[in-house]
Copies of this chain bind each other. A is one copy, B any other.
Amino acid sequence: MSSPLFKTVCFIGIGLIGSSLARAVRKHGLAEKLIALDISEKARTAALALSVVDQATDDPAQAIPEADLIVIGAPVGATQAVGEAIGPYLKAGAIITDVGSVKLAVIRDLMPSLPDGVTFVPGHPIAGTEHSGPESGFAELFEGRWQILTPLPGSDQKAVDKVVALWKGVGSEVEIMDPHHHDKVLAITSHLPHLIAYTIVGTANDLEGHMQQEVIKFSASGFRDFTRIAASDPIMWRDVFLNNREAVLEVLQRFTEDLTALQRSIRWGEGEVLQKRFTETRAIRRAIIDAKQA
Contact = CB atoms under 8 A, between A and B. Distances in A.
Interface of A: 77, 101, 126-128, 130, 145-146, 148, 175, 184-186, 188-207, 211-212, 214-232, 234-235, 237-239, 241-242, 245, 248-249, 251-252, 254-256, 258-259, 262-263, 266-267, 269, 271, 274-275, 277-288, 291, 293-294
A201 to B, nearest CB: 4
Given A205-B280, A245-B266, 16 more contacts: A101-B221, A127-B220, A185-B214, A185-B218, A186-B218, A199-B259, A203-B254, A216-B293, A222-B229, A225-B226, A225-B229, A230-B284, A232-B278, A234-B278, A242-B269, A249-B263
A272 to B, nearest CB: 8
A189 B219 contact: yes
Contacts of A193: 200, 221-223, 225-226
Given A198-B281, A219-B189, A291-B216, A228 B231 contact: no
A240 to B, nearest CB: 10
A100 to B, nearest CB: 13
Nearest to A263: B252
A207 B287 CA distance: 15
Contacts of A254: 203, 206
Contacts of A215: 185, 188-189, 284
B258 A245 contact: no
A4 to B, nearest CB: 28
Nearest to A186: B221
Given A188-B204, A249-B267, A275 B227 contact: no
Contact of A238 (B190, B239, B255, B278): B278
A266 B282 contact: no
Q: Which 10 A-B pairs have CB atoms at the shortest separation, nearest pair first?
A: A190-B221, A234-B278, A193-B222, A231-B285, A230-B281, A201-B281, A189-B223, A190-B222, A227-B285, A238-B274
Contacts of A224: 288, 293-294
B277 A198 contact: yes
Contacts of A237: 274, 278
Given A220-B293, A221-B126, A202 B281 contact: yes
Nearest to A239: B271
A217 B234 CA distance: 26
Contacts of A231: 281-282, 285-286
Contacts of A130: 285
